[in-house]
Structure 1
Amino acid sequence: MAGPSDETDACCVQPGDVDPAALASDLQVLSAMGNDTRYELLRRIASVEDGVCVCDLETAVGVSQSAVSQALSRLYSAGLVTRRKEGSWRYYEPTETADRLLDTLDDLRGSDD
């Protein structure tokens, strides 16, 4: 006859360890995408071949230059965009990580975008 401890042991499983560095990295990426302006900027950047100029992004999202700069800096720090300078302009492109994340979100939504 099984005792009470046998039943408890059968249903309780200890969760596995979580790598603190991986957790911090994942949270940085998710946090960077978790703001309306940053997410919209990332989507707009990912929709264009060969990079998007900051001046075009400011106009597209309708927020101040300062807000766009801060948002892009956060996306860059999270490894979701790259940037290059041509003359006095900066151009942003999605990283492979950003492309994969956006594709996954599209798949979850059932979108072909």
Structure 2
Amino acid sequence: MVPSTDRLRRLIADEIGECCEEDVEQRLDDLDSLAERATTDRLDRDRKTMAALGSETRHRIARLLVTADDALCVCELQPLVDVSESAISHALSDLVDAGLVSRDRRGKWRYYESTGRAERVFAALDAAGDDE
């Protein structure tokens, strides 16, 4: 099914005063080019990142790790986040899967720290908040 171009034709006519088939085709080509530039192979990763930050617990943990000077253990995060160690471990696993947190085993302890991706995401969120 080919989408109707009636509304697009009216938009172009409003913008330039009149519209011919060539104008519609040119606008459709421009829109196709836009769609190609906007579609990336990062789509799944980006969605995973946004979903990971959609939970208050995961968002809080990621923000703490971005702010921390050093890697932190679950037992250090637990007093800062009002959930069980099990819930923190689960949240950290999701954050690792999303590429926002890295995990390092030191003996019997696991330490977590933010990745450059997390730091850039929070920097962008902080900068966007300045526009309000």
Bin the TM-score by the shorter chain.
Answer: 0.7 to 0.9
1:1-113 pair list within 5 angstroms: 2=18, 5=21, 8-9=24-25, 13-14=31-32, 15-17=34-36, 18-19=39-40, 21-110=41-130
Query: In terms of Rg, which structure is larger?
Result: 2
Q: Secondary structure at the match of 1:29?
A: helix
Runs of 4+ in 1 over 6 A off after TM superposition: none
Amino acid at match of 2:73: C
Unaligned runs of 5+ in 1: none
Work out the CA distance in 1 between the residues paired with 2:21 and 2:117. 46
Query: TM-score, normalising length from structure 2?
Result: 0.71
Higher RCO (CA-CA < 8 Å; seq separation 6+): 1
- Percent identity, please: 35
CA RMSD of aligned residues (A): 2.1
Amino acid at match of 2:62: L
